[in-house]
């Protein structure tokens, strides 16, 4: 199984700041990487797919990058509504696996 190591586990940042969340795959996943946002008590929502493609309706302050085994999610100009837990997911191989999540809070 492909292991997805996500960091940091939690993050506190100020409004307007830029934050980065990392995801490291245990093997090459050829950019088959998605990022999700899950707000408290809600279902996950797709933000980014294919490592760097922005899902329709997602604000442009979200962006994804990376290749091979290393990927990152960047949030520019942090807003209060960005408080959530963020997960990465690889879909290059079965079984699909998720990172353990990054809980983002406002400082």
Binding site for another protein (CB under 8 A): 1, 32, 34, 36, 43-46, 49-50, 55, 87, 89, 91, 94-101
* Cβ neighbours of 66 (radius 10 Å): 19
Q: Please, are residues 38 and 88 in contact by the beta-carbon 8 Å criterion?
A: no
Closest distance of CB 88 from another protein, Å: 10
Q: For residues 62 and 87, which CB has a smaller minimum distance to another protein in the complex?
A: 87
Closest distance of CB 4 from another protein, Å: 10
Q: For residues 7 and 55, which CB has a smaller minimum distance to another protein in the complex?
A: 55
Within 8 A by CB and 6+ apart from 7, the residues are: 21, 22, 23, 24, 102
Handedness of CA 47, 85, 39, 88 (dihedral sign): positive
Q: For residues 13 and 101, which CB has a smaller minimum distance to another protein in the complex?
A: 101
């Amino acid at each position: 199984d492909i292991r997805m190591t996500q960091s940091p586990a939690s993050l506190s940042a100020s409004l307007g700041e830029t934050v980065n969340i990392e995801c490291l795959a245990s093997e090459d996943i050829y950019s088959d990487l998605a990022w999700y946002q899950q707000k408290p008590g809600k279902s996950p929502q797709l933000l980014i797919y294919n490592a760097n493609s922005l899902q329709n309706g997602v604000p442009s302050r979200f962006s994804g990058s990376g290749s091979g085994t290393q990927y990152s999610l960047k949030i520019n100009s942090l807003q209060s509504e960005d408080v959530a837990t963020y997960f990465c997911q690889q879909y290059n191989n079965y079984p699909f696996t998720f990172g353990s999540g990054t809980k983002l809070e406002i400082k």
